[in-house]
Structure 1
């Protein structure tokens, strides 16, 4: 697995060396002592997290964080500063920083915070990437939404669960009892009739895309046929 890339901005050479040396055991660290240079690098490279001092030559840490937030509203930002005033901490957090550590800080605490924010960021990306493309449609199971172009069709929770199950088994036969037990916990007759209604509604929606169809496999189940 590739190492996470951290933008570290600190103009104190001794502190920068010690912090970089420790962080580089875990991450790829790109260090700058100047805020303007750091921002130029941010615009040209992909980083996973930013660690910023506040008192910097060129663009200070507050301005740097604001500029970074203009380009990326989600990247985690941690301030490291000798500024201990509550007003400075509040200003930093209002600018969109995720945390504010006061110098002197422990490397262990910094690494712990970095790990927390990297994991949170990864989960957020995973959630964002949880949509599924099926033909001309984009399916968002978390929000029960099926979008085609500018049109969004809202599904019921059960319809969304059914479509998600079909997509997970795309182009393979799903037995009726497997669908019923997965979604209803039972394969009795009345639940089967409800399932047929939901499948009919999905078929009606997918009529707009000839590359998608839900095939009935007699006495066995169904198959969602769609482009890979």
Structure 2
């Protein structure tokens, strides 16, 4: 099995040393850099399987780095690390294209668990079909994170695209709420449940041009996509 390649962006020297050494001892290849600008340069020269990104960094912060990656069409899984604990900061992390969010201080075992869970999704992200999926009158390009309707293109955030992919996979069937929260956010906490509801509302807005499409809320259980 190929050694997973991790890009680790963190400007704290002590934390960087501890995390990098631990991850290498667990069989990961780690490229450590100290800001988003260096991270983008690294992507121009190498390929990675996952990014671990500190939010507060000099020159280019973590949110800006990930937004730039997503704007280029890169779907690599991203785990944010941050000392910021406000719910709005967590929401901004997901909206910028992050897949998971770990607050400092954290245990190294939890970090490794989160990394392994994200890496399970990495092959799926890399092998998605380039053929569009039909959602009513829309064409959904999961790899490009794009909806097209009557020639009009709608760009989706990374999390919107992941959620819509799950809805399409089980079209006309119940998408279980708890399972989806754990798969996309790592747990089913009330905060993440509210965050998912926000993304469902955004998807409904994106799809409203086709009035035959519905995302039905099955109270307490989950959602159904009908087209």
Cα distance in structure 1, aligned partners of 2:128 and 2:62:
30
Cα distance in structure 1, aligned partners of 2:85 and 2:13:
21
For the 8 Å contact 2:80–2:98, the answer to whether it is kept is yes
The Cα shift of 1:71 comes to 2.5
1:42 aligns with 43
Cα distance in structure 2, aligned partners of 1:112 and 1:128:
28
RMSD of aligned Cα (Å)? 1.8
- Stretches of structure 2 lacking an aligned partner (at least 5 in a row): 131-227
Structure 1 segments (4+ residues) deviating >6 Å: none
Cα distance in structure 2, aligned partners of 1:23 and 1:128:
31
Cα distance in structure 1, aligned partners of 2:69 and 2:123:
19
1:20 aligns with 20
Distance 1:89 1:29, change over 3 A: same
For the 8 Å contact 1:54–1:79, the answer to whether it is kept is yes
1:101 aligns with 102
Secondary structure at the aligned position of 1:7 is classed as: strand
Cα distance in structure 2, aligned partners of 1:70 and 1:122:
20
2:84 aligns with 83
**TM-score, length basis structure 2:** 0.54
For the 8 Å contact 1:34–1:58, the answer to whether it is kept is yes
1:115 aligns with 116
The Cα shift of 1:126 comes to 4.7
Distance 1:35 1:125, change over 3 A: closer
Distance 1:120 1:101, change over 3 A: same
The Cα shift of 1:45 comes to 1.1
Cα distance in structure 1, aligned partners of 2:126 and 2:61:
29
Distance 1:121 1:82, change over 3 A: same
For the 8 Å contact 2:75–2:125, the answer to whether it is kept is no
For the 8 Å contact 1:8–1:32, the answer to whether it is kept is yes
For the 8 Å contact 1:76–1:97, the answer to whether it is kept is yes
Cα distance in structure 2, aligned partners of 1:11 and 1:86:
23
**TM-score, length basis structure 1:** 0.54
For the 8 Å contact 1:42–1:68, the answer to whether it is kept is no
Distance 1:55 1:127, change over 3 A: closer
1:70 aligns with 71
| Higher Cα radius of gyration | 1
- Stretches of structure 1 lacking an aligned partner (at least 5 in a row): 130-228
Secondary structure at the aligned position of 2:44 is classed as: helix
For the 8 Å contact 2:76–2:125, the answer to whether it is kept is no
Distance 1:91 1:44, change over 3 A: same
